[in-house]
Chains A and B, each alone.
Chain A
Amino acid sequence: MKEQEILKRLSDAVLQFDSEAAADAARASVAAKMNPVRAIEEGLAVGLRVIGDKFEAGELWLPHLILGAEAMEAAIKVLEEHMPRGALESTSRGTVVIGTVEGDIHDLGLRIVASMLRANGFKVYDLGCNARSLDLIQKAKEVDADIIAASSLMTTTMPFMRDLVEALESAGLRDRFKVLVGGGPVSKEWAKAIGADGYGKDASEAVKAAKQLVQKE
């Protein structure tokens, strides 16, 4: 099978949210001795980007983003076994640890941002809602993250974002991780006031801010 055909199969499988087809296409790319990094970047990621664009246009929804990312993951699992050490990392734009802050159980916006980051090439570790600052930091250390992203949907949980920045400072880790914040009541002014590095008014802006933050490094 020609490489172009395999790349299309990889992209289409993601677009059709079909994990089995994605894994099959990945096996075909291995059999054809295709460079796995190319299979990801020019096949799987293309499909996920189209889903991300359609999501932004209001044509697809959050669950589609998740299903597309799952199909991509299924294919990457196959490709990983055939990749040189460290090659997978080279396909990632950066690593993000994300969570809704302590005391806040709103997770919908968080999932949208996490999915959009994945669709844009970030490796994302999602700690879900009610995530303590220390847990976010611990995970960021563990996976050597570039960014810690925190969301809040309530004015009374926003102070926990400040805690996150202060905890990084007192642990001597402030320069190691960028901090990105967002959520319903959160504003650019608040982000600045607590010393965060970036702010996203919505998922698209969060992705844009994350890209800028990893570029600055």
Chain B
Amino acid sequence: MTAPSLWEVLDRACNTGKVVAAKDFDMKVFSVASRLVKEHGIRYDPETPVSTDDGLADDAWRAGLELFTEVGAYCMNSGRVIGFDESEVKEGFKELRGEAVVGEGAERRVLRLRDVDDGSPPSIVCGGVIESNFPEGELFVKLYQSIAQEPTIDGFYVGPPLQSSEGRLVRSGTPLETHLGTSMVSWVREATRRAGRPGMHFISACTSAIANVAACDSAEGLRRSDGIVSTIMPELKTDYENLNKVVYSHDYGCVKHVYNGGMIGGWAGGPEGALIVSIANAVMAVMVYRIGVGSSYNALGYLRASTPNYSAFVTRPCVWGSSIGSQALSRNTKIVNTVVAMTNAGPGTEMQLQEIVAALCASMPCGREGLSQGVRRFKVKPLLGSGLENRFWGEVGYAMSRVKRDFANHLAEEMLSRYEHRVTRDSDGGPEGHTFDEIYDLATLKPRKQFQELYDGVKRELEDMGLEF
């Protein structure tokens, strides 16, 4: 027996899956997740942001696997459930090779599996600036050059699209976005050339499939050693746009980069439900997006909290769930799994650096293979992003890969205690931060003194706490 082919999966999504109302699917996710949380005895423990409990990680894995097997995935366009039986899921996991290859020449990187408390360096560190809008052309090139010149950075996440194309407003799914997809890729290529690293890989995250497809070109555009991002929507949902990205990545032969996570306060309920649905989403990446076929890797997004009071990322329950989700997948699968973190505070602030440390505490000692997508401030303002927080992302990623979970738990507790009270509705999550041109001298592309000093100060403090760089 073999796992259902991609074509069979698409047939289920488009033609043969059972048609159900979206609300009924959502409520089934909730009822099954609630039952499985109880059955597997999973309980949120705010005292231990980074869990060291192997048994809990394995329980969470089984609960997530059972959730996916019982509920399946949902295609929002067709209203069909993409279901699998247990034996099909088992076969799907056999396809995972635990390896992915990206980039070219001197920038070629091989992503390999890491264990919990592994001690080996991350196999990839991707940077990027997510969401914040930049002007087209030169400033965008300089932004990515400031990241590409960082030696710890191996590649980029590029997207979502900027807000203008040829000076015209860009709307999602429109022809101007299609053109912009190509333009953004050409600017990123230029940035890597200027940094002397033309082989660097990137993953393209335009919202429409056609904008990513249009950017593909084996020489100057999106190469086969690059990737296209396909997203799993909360929870366990996909749509034709994302399936189109999966199909094209499969046919073109580029990297499939799947972004998924879990939402605290969403369809799966609280932190415990969000934890197991995040694992179920990763199972969906294997079965529906077929990351076991070709050179692909998964980005298990940080758990995100969505409550009426705030929508936030690196909070205590998010760190807790992400630490266990990382361990569950590392201990039980061959999924190549990278970390994504979105911060509440903006660039050039101490709080953002503290959030990065907390996010990586729940990732690198917990068995994630690498880092992808850089960091972003959740509440989006223009020009918020620079090479400096990407440098920190990479440096701390390497440092955290050498520590064990118990130290990571201690460090995460320390970081959280410093900023979690600032993640409030009134603060809009945290300080907005500084713009690229405030943080960098654009002529030299070096960080300005005050931001470099802030960076060095936080790093020194981490060293005093026992983190070795």
A residues near B (Cβ < 8 Å) are: 55-56, 58, 61-63, 66-67, 103-109, 111-112, 116, 128-129, 154-157, 159-160, 184-185, 187, 201-205
B73-101: contact bitstring with A at CB < 8 Å (1 yes, 0 no)? 00010000000000000000000000000
Please name the 4 residue pairs, one residue from A and one from B, whose CB atoms are nearest each other, closest first: A63-B30, A203-B308, A156-B172, A103-B172
Which residues on B sit within 8 Å (CB–CB) of A111?
26
Given contacts A155-B133, A157-B172, 15 further A-B contacts (CB under 8 A): A55-B307, A56-B308, A56-B309, A62-B265, A63-B269, A66-B23, A107-B22, A108-B267, A109-B311, A116-B308, A154-B160, A156-B161, A156-B163, A201-B425, A204-B309
Q: Which of B133, B263, B425 contacts A202 (CB 8 A)?
A: B425
- Across the interface, do A157 and B171 meet the contact criterion of CB distance under 8 Å? yes
Of B241, B378, B380, the most chain A CB neighbours within 10 A belong to B380
For B378, the closest partner residue in chain A by CB is A184
CB under 8 Å from chain A, chain B span 230-264: 233-234, 239, 241, 263
- What are 15 A-B interface contacts by the 8 Å CB criterion? A61-B266, A105-B76, A108-B266, A108-B306, A112-B306, A116-B308, A129-B76, A154-B160, A155-B380, A156-B163, A156-B177, A157-B171, A201-B425, A202-B307, A205-B425
- Across the interface, do A112 and B160 meet the contact criterion of CB distance under 8 Å? no
For A185, the closest partner residue in chain B by CB is B380
Which residues on B sit within 8 Å (CB–CB) of A201?
425, 428
- Across the interface, do B171 and A103 meet the contact criterion of CB distance under 8 Å? yes
B residues near A (Cβ < 8 Å) are: 22-23, 26-27, 30, 76, 131, 133, 160-161, 163, 169-174, 177, 207, 233-234, 239, 241, 263, 265-267, 269-270, 273, 306-311, 378-380, 425, 428
- Across the interface, do B266 and A159 meet the contact criterion of CB distance under 8 Å? no
- Knowing A66-B27, A202-B309, the reply to whether A61 touches B270 (Cβ < 8 A) is yes
- Knowing A105-B233, A156-B170, the reply to whether A202 touches B308 (Cβ < 8 A) is yes
- Across the interface, do A155 and B160 meet the contact criterion of CB distance under 8 Å? yes
Of A67, A105, A112, A204, the most chain B CB neighbours within 10 A belong to A105
Rounded to whole angstroms, the CA-CA distance of A184 and B30 in the bound complex is: 24
Rounded to whole angstroms, the CA-CA distance of A103 and B170 in the bound complex is: 12
Which residues on B sit within 8 Å (CB–CB) of A116?
308
- The minimal Cβ–Cβ distance linking A78 to chain B, given in whole angstroms, is 22
Rounded to whole angstroms, the CA-CA distance of A129 and B173 in the bound complex is: 15
Rounded to whole angstroms, the CA-CA distance of A156 and B162 in the bound complex is: 8
- Across the interface, do A128 and B22 meet the contact criterion of CB distance under 8 Å? yes
For B273, the closest partner residue in chain A by CB is A61
- The minimal Cβ–Cβ distance linking B133 to chain A, given in whole angstroms, is 6
- Across the interface, do B173 and A103 meet the contact criterion of CB distance under 8 Å? yes
Which residues on A sit within 8 Å (CB–CB) of B265?
58, 61-62, 112
Rounded to whole angstroms, the CA-CA distance of A66 and B174 in the bound complex is: 34
Rounded to whole angstroms, the CA-CA distance of A201 and B310 in the bound complex is: 8
Which residues on B sit within 8 Å (CB–CB) of A187?
379
For A103, the closest partner residue in chain B by CB is B172
- Across the interface, do B306 and A159 meet the contact criterion of CB distance under 8 Å? no
Rounded to whole angstroms, the CA-CA distance of A160 and B129 in the bound complex is: 24
Which residues on B sit within 8 Å (CB–CB) of A106?
233
Which residues on B sit within 8 Å (CB–CB) of A160?
171
- Across the interface, do A109 and B306 meet the contact criterion of CB distance under 8 Å? yes
- Across the interface, do B23 and A185 meet the contact criterion of CB distance under 8 Å? no
- The minimal Cβ–Cβ distance linking A106 to chain B, given in whole angstroms, is 7
Which residues on A sit within 8 Å (CB–CB) of B171?
103, 156-157, 159-160
- Across the interface, do A159 and B308 meet the contact criterion of CB distance under 8 Å? no
Which residues on B sit within 8 Å (CB–CB) of A203?
308
Q: Which of A107, A128, A129, A184 contacts B380 (CB 8 A)?
A: A184
- Across the interface, do B239 and A156 meet the contact criterion of CB distance under 8 Å? no
- The minimal Cβ–Cβ distance linking B131 to chain A, given in whole angstroms, is 7
